[in-house]
Amino acid sequence: MAKVTRLGVLTGGGDCPGLNAVLRGLVKASAFDHDMQVVGFVDGYAGLIKDHTRRLDSDAVSGILARGGTILGSSNKDNPFRVPTKVNGETKFEDRSDEALRNFDRYGLDLLVVIGGDGSLTIANQLAEKGMPVIGIPKTIDNDLGATDVTFGFDTALSTACAALDKLHTTAESHHRIMVLEVMGRYAGWIALEAGLSGGGDIILIPEIPFRVESAVAAIKNRRFQGRYYTLIVIAEGAKDQSGDMHVAKVVEDSPDALRLGGIGAWLASELEKQLETEVRVTVLGHLQRGGTPSAFDRILGTRYGVHAAHCAAQGMRNVMVSLRGTSITEVPLAEAVQSLRRVDPNSEIVRVARSVGTRFGDE
């Protein structure tokens, strides 16, 4: 096998705390351990399609460990297999994956490292099927990739949500208010569940456990009967009542995942006000969960992922995703990694723990 000398890397999808830690780990391990060069594609797959790059060496990644975001830029819209273009005022989609492969070859790259969530890694797997050697690194605050125990970025987002609950707790208690905190997570409830558990949420509503508004009303009334005149509710953006409907804020047709979830917190507040005849306040954390300085955990996990990806590349591994299993970093086939989402098991130990301390999930 020919020695690997040049890697490409891109950061795709929504930004995430710890991305720069991954880039730093990948670049430094490539240079110090394996004498490999790294070329960065700017703005995710857009850079691969449009041939927009920057060289990444040790100087380029110096001092970025604690920075949020990504020095390469990112995009959650660009897909080489589905590039939007205007034809007579109408949006059409073109397959420009051949251009992506030509740009990959143009730089004499041996392999492309894709740092992304399920959407970006699904595209990476499609490129692998066309012959581009790929290594994936799991990135998402949603913690919903099935082939790894934890994705980097989740811990920081969780800490942000927990801190928000701590602040809401004091004002809710002071004013005897019902507070609703809407958090991200898309179709998985990990942020809502763990933020609610760590921040003392009284009611946690997640996609995996369809809820009834009447159940939440009953829980609030029961707290009042017990002399607790405030309630903290944590609701995931993808939560749904037992009708099965999710709340979609808007549809972005040129995005790999066109649905932008949001608004369920306001809807729930309105429904609660009708039945309780009291004011309900809503806080939507939104992109606060994706920004800012990464936690120590995410810096370390991101560094471990980046270093392991460099080692995998040097050893000739192809079309795998690096993965955390227990306390060890390993790798799994990329095709396996994108097969299914990792969602909350309603019968899992962590859900049982939450129920045991009195948390309600709206299904009672």
Confidence grade of residue 1 (pLDDT, cut at 50, 70, 90): low
> What integer pLDDT is reported at residue 179 of this predicted model?
97
Q: What is the mean pLDDT of the chain?
A: 93
**Residue 296 neighbours by CB under 8 Å, 6+ apart:** none
Of 241, 219, 239, the residue nearest 230 (C-alpha): 219
What CATH number is given for 6-152+292-337 in this structure? 3.40.50.450
Does 109 have pLDDT greater than 90?
yes
Hey, what CATH topology would domain 155-290+345-356 get? Answer: Rossmann fold (3.40.50)
pLDDT (tens digit per residue) in 111-131: 999 999 999 999 999 999 999
What residue ranges do the domains of the chain occupy?
Answer: 6-152+292-337, 155-290+345-356
Confidence grade of residue 236 (pLDDT, cut at 50, 70, 90): very high
pLDDT (tens digit per residue) in 74-89: 987 789 998 888 788 7
Q: Which residues of 31-65 are buried (b: 16+ CB within 10 A; e: fewer)?
A: beebebbbbbbbbbbbbbbbeebeebeeebbeebb
**Residue 319 neighbours by CB under 8 Å, 6+ apart:** 125, 128, 133, 134, 135, 333, 334, 335
The first and second tokens of residue 224, run together, are 């009042």
> What integer pLDDT is reported at residue 254 of this predicted model?
62
Catalytic residue annotation? 142
pLDDT (tens digit per residue) in 45-55: 999 999 999 99
**3-state secondary structure (DSSP) of residue 106:** helix
> What integer pLDDT is reported at residue 199 of this predicted model?
96
pLDDT (tens digit per residue) in 161-194: 999 999 999 999 999 999 999 999 989 999 999 9
How far apart are the C-alpha atoms of 177 and 159, rounded to whole Å? 23
6-152+292-337 and 155-290+345-356: same fold?
A: yes
- What average pLDDT score do residues 211-223 get? 95
Sort 308 into a burial class: Cβ within 10 Å, 0-12 / 13-18 / 19+. Answer: buried
Residues in the chain: 364
pLDDT (tens digit per residue) in 316-363: 999 999 999 999 999 999 999 998 899 999 999 999 999 999 999 999
Does 247 have pLDDT greater than 80?
no
